[in-house]
């Protein structure tokens, strides 16, 4: 077994596969290209590398790549031979699916899109908007789309448009995002930043 930089054990024999996995993680965290290719090569070297398959699934899902489910299935098949911490990472995939399924709820949309916005990941924000657009029409969908749109505009520097979109959300709608003042404060803060940058 090899170790990651954090000291966690990897259930692989190939040093090159482990290095490719680390390279892919660095690319993902740095919002750089090349993660998919590094993970594909790691899986060629170690076909039962559960952690690489789980990461590859996330990359494929993130960009809307067809066949993403094959990586998830591989991760789940390979996980019994992996260490406990690696199996835990594979188990997280189910939770990711659950969250994406709830993107039509403003609370989830605000927080997931907020993570993408803080990373400056416009592709992630576009995927949020696309996912929400496929939800049933209604108030939750409209508020969710407004939040994601405003965050996208904020990231691209279109502060007037972001402020205009946020102005359509009443104080009641803002509190309704999460049922408390926390989400209202987050939206108010974003709106005030937009207004200050106009």
Q: Which helix (H) or strand (E) holds 31?
A: none
Burial class (CB in 10 A: 0-12, 13-18, 19+), 11: buried
Residue 3: pLDDT band (50, 70, 90) is low
Looking only at Cα atoms, what is the longest distance across the chain? 57
**Tokens of residue 183, six digits:** 């989400």
Neighbouring residues of 172: CB distance < 8 A, sequence distance ≥ 6: none
In angstroms, rounded to a whole number, what is the distance separating the alpha carbons of residues 128 and 130?
5
> What is the structure's pLDDT at 145?
95
pLDDT tens sequence across 71-118: 999 999 999 999 888 888 888 777 777 888 888 999 999 988 988 888
Determine contact, residues 113/125, Cβ cutoff 8 Å.
Answer: yes
pLDDT tens sequence across 171-198: 888 988 987 788 889 899 999 999 999 8
In angstroms, rounded to a whole number, what is the distance separating the alpha carbons of residues 162 and 127?
18
Of 87, 88, 39, 85, residue with least CA distance to 59 = 39
CATH classification (class only), 2-94: mainly alpha
Of residues 6 and 35, which shows the higher confidence score? 35
Q: Outline which parts of the chain fall under CATH 1.25.40.
A: 2-94
Of 80, 123, 76, 121, residue with least CA distance to 97 = 76
> What is the structure's pLDDT at 2?
60
> What is the structure's pLDDT at 4?
65
In angstroms, rounded to a whole number, what is the distance separating the alpha carbons of residues 52 and 75?
8
């Amino acid at each position: 077994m090899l170790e990651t930089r954090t000291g966690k054990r990897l259930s692989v024999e190939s040093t090159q596969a482990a290095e490719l996995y680390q390279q892919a993680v660095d690319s993902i965290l740095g919002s750089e290209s090349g993660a998919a290719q590094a993970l594909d090569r790691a899986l060629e070297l170690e076909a039962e590398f559960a952690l690489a398959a789980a990461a590859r699934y996330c990359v494929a899902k993130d960009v809307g790549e067809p066949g993403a489910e094959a990586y998830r299935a591989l991760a789940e098949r390979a996980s019994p031979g992996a260490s406990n911490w690696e199996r835990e990472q594979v188990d997280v995939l189910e939770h990711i699916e659950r969250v994406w399924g709830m993107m039509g709820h403003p609370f989830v949309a605000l927080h997931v899109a907020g993570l993408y916005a803080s990373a400056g990941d416009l592709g992630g924000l576009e995927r949020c908007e696309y996912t929400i657009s496929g939800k049933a029409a209604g108030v939750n969908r409209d508020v969710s789309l407004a939040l994601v749109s405003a965050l996208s505009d904020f990231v691209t520097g279109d502060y007037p448009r972001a402020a205009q979109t946020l102005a359509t959300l009443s104080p009641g709608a803002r509190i309704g995002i999460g049922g408390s003042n926390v989400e209202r404060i987050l939206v108010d803060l974003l709106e005030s930043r937009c207004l200050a940058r106009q």
